[in-house]
């Protein structure tokens, strides 16, 4: 009788271990699925951290060097226009106007197609504290005309974006 009860007890233990093994396999699969999802999230967070470091090292110093009020940006844009207006035959299309974070000036230009040096200098022209966008470029006979937009980012002292 004792032998039968020991055999019966071992059989119950074997059945329990077998079902526990199935339960463990199922739980392990769930854990692996959750772990893979978290690994993807961790990779995304690492990428975000890399981008944040890049922004702090590269973009923040540039943005902090920009003028922090409209008067300084107006002065920069006007000085740039004055320095280059005679060289490139600039004319104002739309005088200083503002977007949310920029101060802009639209400029018309024209040059002769045979004057390749002047055209090359115009294309290579840089605005040190902002951007130059070519809005139009047209050819009429032997003349090339177009419009540039000078874009000066401006961050006022009360602006939340300037403090980040």
For the residues 130-146, what does the mean pLDDT come to? Answer: 86
Of all residues in the chain, the percent with pLDDT exceeding 90 is 7
Report phi then psi at 78, rounded to 5: -65, -40
Please say if the pLDDT value at position 161 is more than 60: no
From residue 79, alpha-carbon distances to 58, 83, 105, 142, 161 in Å are: 26, 6, 12, 30, 26
Task: Return the ∠ at Cα 108 (arms to 105 and 112), rounded to 5°.
Answer: 150
- HSE (side-chain half, CA atoms, 13 Å) at 3: 0
**pLDDT score of 45:** 92
Q: Please tell me the pTM assigned to this model.
A: 0.51
Q: Are 154 and 66 in contact (CB under 8 A)?
A: yes
**Mean pLDDT, the chain, as a whole number?**
82
**pLDDT score of 65:** 66
Measure the CA–CA gap between 43 and 35, rounded to whole angstroms. Answer: 12
């Amino acid at each position: 009788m004792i032998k039968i009860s020991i055999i019966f007890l071992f059989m119950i233990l074997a059945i329990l271990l077998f079902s526990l093994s199935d339960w463990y396999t199922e739980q392990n699969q769930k854990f692996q699925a959750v772990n893979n999802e978290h690994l993807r999230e961790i990779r995304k967070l690492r990428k975000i951290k890399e981008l944040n470091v890049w922004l702090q090292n590269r973009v923040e110093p540039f943005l902090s060097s920009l003028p922090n009020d409209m008067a300084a940006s107006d002065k920069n844009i006007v000085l740039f226009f004055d320095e280059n207006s005679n060289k490139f035959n600039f004319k104002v299309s739309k005088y200083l106007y503002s977007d949310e974070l920029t101060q802009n000036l639209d400029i018309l230009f024209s040059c002769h197609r045979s004057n390749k040096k002047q055209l090359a200098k115009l294309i290579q022209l840089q605005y040190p504290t902002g951007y130059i966008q070519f809005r139009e470029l047209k050819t009429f006979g032997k003349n090339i005309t177009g419009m540039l937009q000078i874009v000066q980012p401006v961050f006022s002292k009360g602006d939340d974006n300037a403090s980040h």
